[in-house]
Chains A and B, each alone.
Chain A
Amino acid sequence: MAIKELDQDIMRPPQPPGLIKWIRDNLFNGIMNSVLTIILFPAVLYLIYLILNWILVTANWRAVSEFPMLFAVGQYPRDQLWRVGVIFSGLIFMLGVSWGRWGGLLRMITMVVVGFLVLIAVLPVQHPALTVQMRLYLGGNLVFAALGFLIGKKTKLKEYLIIIFWFLIPVGGIILLAGFDSSAQLPAVPTTLWGGLMVTILLAAGGIVLSFPLGVALAFGRRSSLPVVSAFSTIFIEVIRGVPLVTILFMFSIILALFLPAESRIDRLVRALMAVTVFSAAYSAENVRGGLQSVPLGQIEAAKALGMGNFKTTVFIVLPQALRAVLPAIVGQFIALFKDTTLVVIIGINDFLGIGRSIINSDPEFVQMRTEVYIFMAVVYWIFSYLMSLASRRIESALGVESNL
């Protein structure tokens, strides 16, 4: 009771204006603005109508809808598709586990992804790719995600175990995708047949995971007091940053092959991955270096004064603060890397964009539909980039609560 009485005496912040008032204040304040509003409102509606009309009526999406598997995995042998399925479901399962363990944004991502799969599974249309098995498989991912969620939620799995599994699945996955020369059950599938979104994600994720530690190492290398290490890092960073990615891709795909003996030929896809990794590492290194410089000297002194050596000071004090400071820049770099993988087309790898281009070029009829194909691909790239950006902002705010010293 006392609290209620007290409440009435407290001054409250002014309420935000209601909808009507907001409209009057912002859209109809004065003759000029009223006229503009009256003209522009229908214009905007008409524009929306035009866009929707194009998407739903005018556009012909056949070039996209006829080749879902091509966009997803390229020429990967259709009788070996189960390997892709196993890996994909493994990732869905891990997504579920992580959701159960950490919640937050992972919940939304898992639900959107699984919801999308289930939606396709029950789509009431006839499509040659949507066989009964395919529908069952897509819907079945709901079970994997739920199973993962329960395991993540109920068992108190150690966090590092989950992270280790996140790394094991792609590594095991690549071995599974590649197969073995001598095996009858798991025949080798040459990477020339890999393609589509699978390759794009592989290159981007591989590039991100490999380039980040390399970038951190280079950043420390550049600051090192050992002249050889620092000179090497600086030259590496400046050379790579001074050269377009296309050049680096060519260098790895052609020149590297010339220098190495014929029997030690590195796989084409691996060479592309190396090029992307090296390129991204140079940029990450500069981002991380910026972060390292932002850590105040007092932090390092405090750690040293507690008896911590250089290594422990770096791991526990400097790096966490440095990375937090430059997280937005690093994620920006990752998004750029994801989109840059499209350049592997020029060394003959059929990534997502490459598949789209070869579909367009495969048939004069499809050339007419190139707008639709490119818009479709743009939307897919946007979805992935936006998810990364969203995740970055969530991580930032999770970390940011405790900053501001």
Chain B
Amino acid sequence: MEKEPIIKCRGVHKWFGDFHALKGIDMDVYEGEVIVVFGPSGSGKSTFIRTINRLEEHQQGDIYVDGIELSHDVRNIEKIRMETGMVFQQFNLFPHLSVIQNITLAPIWVRNWPKNKAEEKAMELLQLVGIPEQAEKFPGNLSGGQQQRVAIARALAMEPRIMLFDEPTSALDPEMIKEVLDAMINLAKSGMTMIVVTHEMGFAREVADRMYFFDEGLIVETGTPDEIYKNPQQDRTKLFLSQILQH
């Protein structure tokens, strides 16, 4: 039985001016898969997942998300963005809105849900990420870990079919990384399709189906966590892994 991938990338190129950031990325992601993307900084991994919901525009190649082609058509872009939630390194919560307003804003104004339905959903999600008591607070009064969990809830409130995580724990103090990873692990185990840019190798080992190692705008190596950790094929992968696993 041939199942269509939910995300299909073929020969994706991206330039920033003259800098060739993505040099032909191919990737298929199937529903329910958890993909971990890792690699040195400047390798194009963040750029890549930002092309999936068009925060960056790719200049060559094709990207299909949920069967919709990502092109210049604004309607397609907004449709894809409704189906893909994104969590950012810097949280990017809206500082002028309370936690619950952060979460309900898009469901109310983009999905046209009635306010009480959106709020019920928001409380459910806050329960899920473990901070229902913070609903009325403003982002500025939360810790980094709490903010990132709100950001996850905010993305989930749109009931996306795919979740993109762009280095979600890189801006966090060490003691807060676990609470965010736990929320992500729960999400992964619930069957959500996820692409995660991260260097959290424990997380990758626990839930990733496949891992992609990016370097200099190319996919250098791909495989299951077991294959990548125990038996990396490429020298660059070995070197990078030895550097991040040393400490």
Contact = CB atoms under 8 A, between A and B. Distances in A.
Interface of A: 296, 298-299, 301-309, 312, 316-317, 320-321, 324, 399, 401-405
Contact of B138 (A309, A312, A316, A401): A401
- Binding site secondary structure of chain A: helix
Contacts, number: 76
Contacts of A399: 96
A309 B136 CA distance: 26
A109 to B, nearest CB: 25
Contacts of B53: 305
13 contacts: A298-B88, A302-B93, A305-B81, A305-B85, A306-B85, A306-B154, A307-B81, A308-B110, A317-B94, A399-B96, A402-B95, A404-B140, A405-B93
Given A299-B94, A306-B106, A402-B141, 6 more contacts: A305-B81, A306-B110, A307-B106, A403-B96, A403-B140, A405-B140
Nearest to B142: A405
B176 to A, nearest CB: 16
Contacts of A402: 95-96, 98, 138, 140-141
Given A298-B92, A307-B82, A316 B140 contact: no
Nearest to A320: B96
B90 A306 contact: no
Interface size class of B (residues with CB under 8 A): 20 to 34
Given A307-B82, A404-B140, A312 B98 contact: no
A317 B105 CA distance: 10
A249 to B, nearest CB: 38
Nearest to B81: A307
Contacts of B138: 401-403
Contact of B110 (A296, A298, A301, A307): A307
A316 B95 contact: no
A301 B92 CA distance: 8
Interface string B77-104: 0110110111010101111101000000
B109 A308 contact: yes
Given A301-B88, A405-B93, A405-B140, A308 B98 contact: no
Given A307-B106, A405-B140, A301 B55 contact: yes
B139 interface: yes
Contact of A312 (B94, B109, B141): B109
B158 interface: yes
Contacts of A301: 55, 88, 92
Contacts of A303: 94, 106
Nearest to A309: B78
A403 B90 CA distance: 16
B78 A405 contact: no
Shortest Cβ-Cβ A-B pairs, 9 listed: A402-B138, A405-B95, A302-B92, A306-B106, A307-B82, A305-B86, A298-B92, A404-B140, A307-B81
Contacts of A405: 93, 95, 139-140
B110 to A, nearest CB: 5
Interface string B52-91: 0101000000000000000000100011011011101010
A324 B55 CA distance: 26
Nearest to B74: A309
- Interface-centre pick from A301, A308, A405 (highest chain B CB count, 10 A): A405
A395 to B, nearest CB: 13
Nearest to B94: A317
B121 to A, nearest CB: 14
A174 B99 CA distance: 43
Contacts of A324: 96
A307 B139 contact: no
B106 A308 contact: yes
A302 B94 contact: yes
A321 B90 CA distance: 17
Contacts of A298: 88, 90, 92
Contacts of B129: none
A79 B138 CA distance: 55
Contacts of B95: 321, 402-405
A23 B90 CA distance: 50
Nearest to B102: A302
Contacts of A299: 92, 94
B155 interface: yes
Contacts of B90: 298
